Amino acid sequence: MSSAAAKKPRPKYLSLAALLFEIRLPAPAWVSGLHRLSGALLFFPFAAWLLYLLDTSLASEQGFVHVRSYLAMPIAKLGLLVFVWAYAHHFCAGIRFLFLDLNKGIDLPQARMTSFIVFAASIALTIFFAWRIW
């Protein structure tokens, strides 16, 4: 018994570089990971940023002018686009996960197709709002 335990391969501890560049994750795994990332982005930095902008714009007329000039800057527009992507992806992937909870789209071909639909829809929505912002 001790010889069998000695011959077991040891687990391989992977680094972030290995996860990103060496291992090829399937599309449903990317949707799941990006769903978590977009949810974290929506909750932590973007909620505070948007609440600050809303508070400043509603405080006075000068605050509204300040927020309007701030949002005219390219870096602020880029931040808005990241927020739009995070919201669109989180929304589309959330709908996909609700269907998975109802046992719709569980099979591998359907799961791959719906994950590509989520990617396409979130990118299309982001491009649409990018056109509207700029």
Task: Write out the chain's pLDDT in tens, 134 residues.
Answer: 556 556 777 767 777 787 777 778 899 999 999 999 999 999 999 999 999 999 999 999 999 999 999 999 999 999 999 999 999 999 999 999 999 999 999 999 999 999 999 999 999 999 999 999 98
Nearest CA-CA partner of 86 in 30, 35, 50, 132: 35
In a domain, 97, yes or no: yes
- In which domain, by residue range, is 106 found? 30-44+73-133
pTM above 0.85, yes or no: no
In a domain, 66, yes or no: no
In a domain, 79, yes or no: yes
For the chain, the domain total comes to: 1
Q: Which helix (H) or strand (E) holds 61?
A: helix 61-70
Single-letter residue type at 59: A
In a domain, 18, yes or no: no
Nearest CA-CA partner of 30 in 85, 103, 87, 112: 112
In a domain, 2, yes or no: no
